[in-house]
Copies of this chain bind each other. A is one copy, B any other.
């Protein structure tokens, strides 16, 4: 098999073909899986990516593309055969252009999300995609997984933020689609085919993304709500009072906040002790901080009158606002401190969420003795991270072994009954590829298989992820 390594060395230079110390590249972010790569290749240009793909195709070697390797569904590490080439986009990290009048930024796939945010900010604009791993994930990975994050309620998923793509196809051709156009109806929507395809249909090498004017002020509030029904009603009021000013609407149940309080008491979680649910919401205003505050107060007053909110605080400073978001983002870490848990990334039509939570909580409680529910997520998008923690003091590994499949069955079947999705923002990868057939329309699966065969007839790109060829 050495010839392909030598070929790759010729194509991208010896220092950029790695065969040792690959742990960082082949280990899944959540440490659930570890693969083995023939080598890691780190091309520096789009033409090099294309040459690598052609060489691998000719040699019958399959390729796993990787950005920051922060994915949550085992989609960016090689399998354990040792025959796959891992193609890292990290050297392609340039910001190619910023066009303020066109409100666009063109970046290479390996650009770290935070660097993209910073480049936009330095030019006086907002790039609104924001998620926990933004310090290490790349925009290419965000695009390939159609990442969500905390501002989807206003700005949409990564898909909605993208105007154009440069892609290396499975045959090693370069698709020049870096258009900065809001409207282009010259044929099929190839852009959205590659977005969310997890590198199975082509390799995204660069993208033209939307920018937004920087808001004049952003305010954050924390509200106690008596139940999920009231949280949904509160969301409706927030849409009405804030319009597009509503940029975040997160919900957290009492148990999830109790874990933050237990493991990070210094964060001083507000209001959680007296209420089953809390909501974190954000208002970005194009006018002024004073106006943002007035609108927030009008909303909270209306919500209290309507009985949706029992108590609330509006952050008085940027530091306080950051702390509130920090609490929200610490739930995942607090869960990990508490022990292993079984995670779900589901979405449900928002109107059905109260009933879904009630019914599914009850079914789990009846079937999984002592299970504890870490229910939180992006209610504004109908996306819950509906996680299950072992009973206090129990052996977590044993709990997982005994109950994981049953818990997943209960949750996913309930999701399906309510017309939801078993993967809202994390994708499919290897983790859920064999779950899809149970939960997805067979006609959709057939069309997906046709797309895979049409775009990657030799099954070179990230085989076994998203759909089995």
> Which A residues form the contact surface with B (CB < 8 A)?
99-104, 145-146, 148, 152-154, 156-157, 159-160, 169, 173-177, 179-190, 192-193, 195-197, 201, 212-213, 215, 232-233, 235-236, 239-245, 284-287, 295, 347-352, 378, 381-383, 419-428, 432, 436, 439-441, 443-448, 450-455, 466-467
Contacts and interface: CB of A to CB of B under 8 A. Distances in A.
Contact of A424 (B180, B185, B454): B185
A185 B181 contact: no
Nearest to A352: B102
A467 B181 contact: no
B181 A421 contact: yes
Contacts of A169: 443, 447
Contacts of A148: 183
Given A101-B236, A184-B421, A447-B455, 8 more contacts: A101-B235, A146-B185, A182-B382, A183-B347, A185-B425, A187-B440, A244-B244, A454-B454
A293 to B, nearest CB: 13
A190 B102 contact: no
B455 A159 contact: no
Contact of A242 (B145, B286, B441): B286
Q: Identify the 3 closest CB pairs spanning chains A and B, nearest first.
A: A243-B286, A244-B244, A192-B192
Nearest to A182: B381
Nearest to A466: B187
A181 B99 contact: no
A152 B447 CA distance: 30
A350 B210 CA distance: 13
A441 B347 contact: no
A441 B315 CA distance: 51
A233 to B, nearest CB: 8
8 contacts: A153-B182, A157-B182, A175-B443, A175-B447, A189-B192, A212-B239, A245-B286, A451-B451
Contacts of A236: 100-101
B181 A382 contact: yes
Contacts of A453: 454
A188 B176 contact: no
A213 to B, nearest CB: 5
A300 to B, nearest CB: 15
A186 B423 contact: yes
Contacts of A186: 421-423, 428, 432, 436, 439-440
Contacts of A233: 101
Contacts of A454: 450-451, 453-454
A288 to B, nearest CB: 11
A196 B201 contact: no
Given A176-B441, A295-B287, A196 B190 contact: no
